[in-house]
Amino acid sequence: MSINRWQSLAPVQIERAELAASTLKPRWSMWVLQTLEHNGPMRLTDLCNALPGLQPSAASSVINRLRGQGLITRTPSGRSVHYGLGDAANGLQPVHRTLASWWQAHLSINAPVARAEQVERGLGHLPLPATFAICKSLADRGPQTATDVGWHLDWPMATSSFYSRIAMLRHRGLIAPTGDRIGKAELLSLTPRALSLSDVVEALDDFQRHRAPASVVPTATPPYRPADLFSHLPTTPAPMPRPLAGRRPR
């Protein structure tokens, strides 16, 4: 759980990992992908029978979305249609493994949980977007106030949405106050739960990098534009407040 793993990640890796997590996070996505991986191409009816609780209408929605991402293929076969894994899904095994291991280490309960559900619960525990970028900032610069995190990542702070995201990360046990303050502002740092996420980020980045054509891999810095995180903001966001007096960004 060395912080060095986080520090070695480049901004574009953080962005690719967020993109991959956003693709895989919606409910039933990992269940469908792992079921097709285990059974091979299946009809929609057979897929739903293999996943009690997944209704055909919901399954169609999941399949269509994943087809649009190149993760699932559709092959007519006589009067039926079979769905299988696309080439873009070839690198999913490391993602499954690292997410399941992370869930088992930090979020497991005293009851049997299927691996696909472990993966889905692990992804569901990550409030996206922004989780990985905030963790990266705290790893690179050490304990910071919420204002400093926003300043370093060039995000607007004049709304409650940013602070809500910080509060959610605290509630999920990914960041925590150090006990020190600058004025009235608490200093925040990564928890062991967040430090061990570096393996997950690397797996998600590798998956996204191999499935996306090089021409469309985003390379923007910082990894998020304000509009990506705060869709309700005006086109020209309010200027960022300066860090607290007497303290310069590190």
pLDDT digits (tens, 9 = 90+) for 14-44: 999 999 999 999 999 999 999 999 999 999 9
Closest-CA residue to 152 (of 110, 188, 196): 188
Extents of the domains making up the chain? 21-123
Residue 162 is predicted with a pLDDT of 80
Residue 159 is predicted with a pLDDT of 64
Residue 156 is predicted with a pLDDT of 62
Each residue's pLDDT tens digit, 171-211 = 999 999 999 999 999 999 999 999 999 999 999 999 999 87
Burial 87-110 (b: 16+ CB within 10 A, else e): ebbebbeebbebbbebbeebbeee
* Other Cβ atoms closer than 10 A to 228: 14
Least confident of 92-101, 118-127, 156-165: 156-165
Residue 186 is predicted with a pLDDT of 95
Residue 218 is predicted with a pLDDT of 42
Question: Among all chains, which residue has been given the structure tokens 């559709």?
Answer: 74
| CA 65 to chain CA centroid, nearest Å | 17
Question: Which amino acid does the sequence have at 229?
Answer: L
Going by pLDDT thresholds of 50, 70 and 90, the confidence category of residue 212 is low
Residue 80 is predicted with a pLDDT of 92
Q: Does domain 21-123 have CATH number 1.10.10.10?
A: yes
Going by pLDDT thresholds of 50, 70 and 90, the confidence category of residue 145 is very high
DSSP 42: B
Contacts for 64 with CB less than 8 Å, ≥ 6 apart = none
Residue 222, preceding bond cis, omega within 30 degrees?
A: yes
Going by pLDDT thresholds of 50, 70 and 90, the confidence category of residue 1 is low
- The pTM of this model reads 0.80
